[in-house]
């Protein structure tokens, strides 16, 4: 009887060793997301953000996500989840996203490249180009290209501005602190506050036509 008990104990220990890796593999797979889940969520996002996430000009301008920097999208979504950005709609959308889904969405949006929506006043583009490339020295406003790149495609935490909706950029620069509050990046706050309304509109017009 004692021998049988010992054998059963050894068998149980062996099975635990054999099947432990299988359990860990299942946990790893459960932490990921399937391509079907990602595509379904992408389609859901495009209801508001437009076809191929090119942005949508409605009652409120909804930003272009296509081509956006992966790190920036992840950072902003975490900002909504942690309520560092005060947008009720996006807080509700973002808080259900798993870390794996968040990264998958950011990567998929980054890989999209539709044409810009356009529609900004063309007569403002030249002035906007000068501000973007040279800044406004007498107002201590650096060239936008310094952080966002010469083609406005961004870099890591610095967002892509190329092709972004004109009214969205105007709205964000005009009301920088209202939605973002204590947002992670404080770099833009003094710059946005130093720009006049015509300067904001000019920069927004220029970047909105970039591809």
Digit-by-digit pLDDT tens for the chain (211 residues) are 433 343 334 334 333 333 333 332 333 333 589 999 999 999 999 999 999 999 999 889 999 999 999 999 999 999 999 988 888 999 999 999 999 999 999 999 999 999 999 999 999 999 999 999 999 999 999 999 999 999 999 999 899 999 999 999 999 999 887 666 555 467 888 999 999 999 999 999 999 999 9
Q: Which residues pair with 57 in a beta bridge?
A: 61
Hey, where are the domains in the chain? Answer: 1-31, 35-110, 122-208
Pick the CATH number of 122-208 from 1.10.760.10, 2.60.120.1440, 1.20.1280.50, 3.30.420.310: 1.10.760.10
Residue 62: phi and psi, rounded to 5, are -110, 125
| Domain 35-110, CATH | 1.10.760.10
pTM of the entire predicted model: 0.81
Same fold, 35-110 and 122-208: yes
The residues near 33 (Cβ < 8 Å, ≥ 6 apart) are: 98, 100, 101, 104
Q: What's the full length of the chain, in residues?
A: 211
Radius of gyration for the alpha carbons in the chain, expressed in angstroms and rounded = 24
């Amino acid at each position: 009887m004692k021998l049988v008990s010992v054998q059963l104990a050894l068998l149980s220990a062996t099975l635990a060793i054999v099947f432990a890796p299988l359990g860990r593999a299942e946990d790893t797979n459960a932490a990921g997301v399937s391509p079907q889940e990602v595509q379904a969520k992408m389609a859901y996002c495009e209801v508001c953000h437009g076809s191929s996430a090119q942005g949508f000009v409605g009652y409120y301008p909804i930003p272009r996500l296509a081509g956006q920097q992966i790190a920036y999208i992840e950072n902003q979504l975490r900002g909504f989840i942690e309520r560092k950005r005060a947008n009720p709609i996006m807080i509700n959308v973002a808080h259900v996203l798993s870390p794996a889904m968040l990264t998958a969405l950011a990567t998929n949006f980054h890989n999209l490249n539709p044409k810009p929506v356009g529609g900004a006043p063309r007569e403002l583009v030249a002035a906007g180009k000068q501000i973007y490339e040279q800044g406004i020295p007498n107002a201590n406003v650096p060239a936008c290209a310094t952080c966002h790149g010469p083609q406005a495609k961004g870099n890591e935490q610095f967002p892509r501005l190329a092709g972004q909706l004109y009214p969205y950029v105007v709205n964000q620069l005009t009301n920088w602190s209202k939605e973002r509050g204590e947002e992670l990046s404080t770099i833009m706050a003094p710059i946005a506050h130093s720009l006049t309304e015509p300067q904001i509109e000019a920069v927004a017009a220029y970047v909105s036509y970039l591809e």
